[in-house]
């Protein structure tokens, strides 16, 4: 099992009351599997992705990735886990406006000790994969929404992650651009990357090998 979520709960305080974002969620995901997370806003989809990705810590329970308990890692180890293992794709591209597409995609490689030529080749490779190489020298403000999202996918995969977490990646895209992003994510899965996508988009959920539904922080598989 590549991803194991074991009885994970997430609780936080809001206005003096305890809010449960996840309630004793357990699931297992195999390497290379493409899994969809479905549920209304507030159901816990994003929280679950954030915990699997090491952006948040669970209140209770364990998350095990590649037989490593990430819920016990310290902050420095979590940062290294995110950099080496996980690629994140969000609804908004979150590209840095002053940087070109090439420079945005290069950012995750800055701490890498690889030679500059190797880093450049890797960026060029993922720009081609994401079909955004023709916009490499452009600034984010010069791109369409679909182009920005393709650049964001390129940035997410430039470190060759073994796990990609996508949170509503097609939520702001038209049908053609959504199809491009879906194609990129399914292609990653076909290459052995584990992909988990939280989405309301039926087009995304239809290509998932398995769909897990969340409601009020609890899970039921479809």
Nearest to 120 by CA among 147, 138, 132, 102: 102
- The CA distances from residue 202 to 38, 48, 60, 208, 218, in Å, are 9, 20, 31, 10, 21
The tens digit of pLDDT for each residue in 115-173 reads 999 999 999 999 999 999 999 999 999 999 999 999 999 999 999 999 999 999 998 88
The tens digit of pLDDT for each residue in 60-113 reads 999 999 999 998 899 999 999 999 999 999 888 999 999 999 999 999 999 888
Is the four-CA dihedral 16, 62, 209, 156 of positive or negative sign? positive
Q: Which domains does the chain have, with CATH numbers?
A: 3-221 (3.40.50.300)
Q: Contact, 151 vs 105, CB < 8 A?
A: yes
Residue 172 is predicted with a pLDDT of 82
Q: CB 81: neighbour CB atoms within 10 A?
A: 18
pLDDT at residue 221 tops 90: no
């Amino acid at each position: 099992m590549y991803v194991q979520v074991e009885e994970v709960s997430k609780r936080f305080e809001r206005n003096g009351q305890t809010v449960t974002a996840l309630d004793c969620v357990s699931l297992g995901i195999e390497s290379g599997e493409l899994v969809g997370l479905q549920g209304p806003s507030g159901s816990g989809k994003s929280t679950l992705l954030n915990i699997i990705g090491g952006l948040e810590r669970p209140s209770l329970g364990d998350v095990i990735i590649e037989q490593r308990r990430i819920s016990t890692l310290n902050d420095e180890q979590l940062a290294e886990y995110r950099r080496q293992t996980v690629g994140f794709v969000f609804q908004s591209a979150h590209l840095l406006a002053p940087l070109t597409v090439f420079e945005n995609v290069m950012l995750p490689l800055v701490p890498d000790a690889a030679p500059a030529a190797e880093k450049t080749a890797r960026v060029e490779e993922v720009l081609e994969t994401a079909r955004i190489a023709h916009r490499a020298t452009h600034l984010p403000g010069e791109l369409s929404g679909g182009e920005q999202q393709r650049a964001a996918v390129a940035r997410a995969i430039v470190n060759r992650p073994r796990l990609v977490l996508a949170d509503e990646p097609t939520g702001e895209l038209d049908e053609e651009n959504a199809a491009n992003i879906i194609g990129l994510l399914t292609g990653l899965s076909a290459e052995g990357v584990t992909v988990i996508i939280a989405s309301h988009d039926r087009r995304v959920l239809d290509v998932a090998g398995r769909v897990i539904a969340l409601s009020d922080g609890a899970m039921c598989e479809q």
